[in-house]
Structure 1
Amino acid sequence: MTTNPNAAGSYDFTALGDASGELERLQLQAQRSAQLELQLLERMGLADGQAVLDLACGPGVISRLIAQAHPKSRVTAMDLNGALLAAAREEAATAGLASIRFVQGDVYAPPLEQGQFDFIYARLLFQHLEQPLQALEAIRALLKPGGVLCIFDIDDSWLTLVPEPEGFATFTAAAARAQERRGGNRLIGRQLGRLLEESGYNPVDVHVETVTSRQLGMRAFLDITLGFKRLLLEGEELEAARATLESADALVDDPRAWAFVGVFLARGVRP
């Protein structure tokens, strides 16, 4: 039975407030992994000349990257939040990218013509969704026959810091519970293949790409993997995590420290 899920799921940019620094975090997060993501997307089938949708585009860093790298492509950037779209439009204008189309919309009921896209990218979206199957069905309808949906998302069981700060497992578990209370799922990566198959995509492929602190730099790695988790916690849980987060931050100055995360790339084709 179709339900009416909260479109924002476990991520509500407006609720975080201007003082949270969330816009800057989103921009830095995307910028620091942008070139790596572009390589992965091209491996998944992104090519010049396609009609491309950047779904839940946020401040539009990846939308701009795709438009710059593939100037013959027709790029649409969609997000639920008007403030994020305004930031994305402004940055695109500054970069001289007038070709990107910006649309405000809900992933469960996207205000877009069906059957028009060759390639749709959903970056760090599905970890926030209450009803991923419902979203996948709505997205599938936007693809042309043979069109590709590429999902880039996480599974916290693949996150490792070496040396591991005391209390790190407790902190990540608390963040996962907090996101689950908001409708999210920090273990979504392992479920993507099954969800894509159940919603009618065929064929379906899932790959895990290991990203390390040596690739991104430890500061960038910690910002990307722990930044949102910090925002999820409050009260006693946040206070309990302070020493752990301080120990994690100290790894920036430890030349022997390493960190690893498994990024799930799921690829589904509309038959």
Structure 2
Amino acid sequence: MNAGNMTQVFDWTYNENDQEFSLHGSLRPQCAGELAGCISALEQSVRNVSGKFYVNVRRLVRMNNVAFQTFACKILDLVRGRSDLSVHVTTSSVVGWSTRKFAALETMSDRITVSEYDSEFYPGQTFLEEGGFIPILRTQTKLTWHHEQTILGKHGLEPGMQVADICCGIGDFAVLMQKEYRPSRLVALDHSRSSLEYARKVAADFGVSGIDYVFGDASEMLLESDQFDFVTCRHSLQVFDRPELILQELFRICKPGGRVYITNEKNSHCLGEPRSDSIQRTYTEVARLWAHFNMDIELGPKSRRYLIDAGLEDIRMESFMVTNQDGNPQDFADIIRSWENVYAGQMAVERGDSAEEIEVFRKGFQDHVFAALHPKGYAGWPIWVASGRKPK
């Protein structure tokens, strides 16, 4: 959202995944009334939130006293009117006095906390570093959710179902499903104990209950057969060298008549303009790199075949393109940088690439970032969604 009727332009955005309301730009109203639209959006954002709600002002370059008083009063009103709510304000040293001003709120309510971005992070920004893939998974959920939020319903997910999220990672997708679809039961399973610990912490932090986080191997789960109406496994089959083993287990735990839902990629179809040739060359190389490690990041369009081979029927399949137009282009740029760090860093080095080869490899990621952030640019990342019904 953009407000251009003031002397200086500012924006606000709400990230449901992180329960974070962010302000950007220059915030210098002459009167509180100029902020009515933004305050209304803030109230709407917090309406369905429990637990911790984040107000992020670190991307403001200016903020006058009228703006501070308006937001400070609203934050106090929120916590005083909601016993189930706490608010964390993230400031920045760029607008140095904002930290001192907002810190005063901590003395007025024990459910308001304030930190300066440069010195302290919070769950919505911090990534676990295990395995290299966690930074990617966190950011991609932010980018894909507003597509999948409605796609899930088209593939059969309904409120009140028994749901399993397999290879749940740090659990952010499970949290979003719990909030949006209110399943009667939701089990989230992963093989990483530290990821599950993080997931439990974030769910508790956001006041989300009803998710049963379980440690287990997706290819050999200690879950009973025929018990879930809807089973999800996102961006994970492409990571395993034998995805058919995972699908056997997804099929087994799904009830007859229930559905298995998967998402996967075809990374060589990532695109960007300008500098399209460099971008295409790098993502074609990504596919080769993954194949070197017996993984298939081109699996997306193959999903239908995999689901049929697993014994599922009534296959539904579609694709969507995540782009730099899906909200803040900086979010898209952030995930590209995550790819660069893992693929052109850790993985290319382990493959034995030379410094010169890695430099060329990195160039395409950097050009993709350029396209994502260019005022006339376009950058895209395609995702394939597929689901199938277990025969009765």
Select which of 255, 270, 274 maps to 1:163. Answer: 274
Q: Deviation at 1:214?
A: 1.2
Asked whether 1:145 is paired with 2:256, we answer yes
Q: In the alignment, what sits opposite 2:383?
A: 263
State the AA in 2 paired with 1:108: S
* Superposed CA offset, 1:26-76 (max 9, x none): 323212332322221122111110011111111111100111112343111
Can you give the 5+ residue segments of structure 2 that lack an aligned partner in the other structure?
1-128
Residues 1-271 of structure 1 correspond to what in structure 2 (within 5 A)? 14-16=130-132, 23-224=134-335, 227-228=338-339, 230-233=341-344, 234-235=348-349, 236=354, 237-271=357-391
Tell me: higher relative CO, structure 1 or 2? Use CA pairs within 8 A at least 6 residues apart: 1
CA distance in 1, matches of 2:215, 2:294: 21
* Superposed CA offset, 1:75-120 (max 9, x none): 1111111111111011111122231000111111111111110001
The 1:77/1:206 distance shift into structure 2, 3 A limit, reads same
1:203 aligned counterpart, secondary structure: strand
Larger radius of gyration: 2
State the AA in 1 paired with 2:383: V
The 1:252/1:182 distance shift into structure 2, 3 A limit, reads same
More strand by share: 2
The 1:178/1:253 distance shift into structure 2, 3 A limit, reads closer
CA distance in 1, matches of 2:281, 2:269: 15
1:214 aligned counterpart, secondary structure: coil
CA distance in 1, matches of 2:149, 2:186: 14
Q: Deviation at 1:163?
A: 1.5
Bigger shift: residues 126-135 or 231-240: 231-240
Could you say what the CA RMSD is over the residues aligned between the two structures, in angstroms? Answer: 2.0
State the AA in 2 paired with 1:205: R
State the AA in 1 paired with 2:178: A
2:313 aligned counterpart, secondary structure: coil
2:325 aligned counterpart, secondary structure: helix
Q: So what's the TM-score if we normalise by structure 1?
A: 0.86
Can you give the 5+ residue segments of structure 1 that lack an aligned partner in the other structure?
1-12, 17-21
Q: So what's the TM-score if we normalise by structure 2?
A: 0.61
Aligned residues: 254
Moved over 6 A (4+): none
Question: Do the aligned partners of 1:167 and 1:244 also contact (CA within 8 Å) in 2?
Answer: yes
Question: Do the aligned partners of 1:67 and 1:73 also contact (CA within 8 Å) in 2?
Answer: no
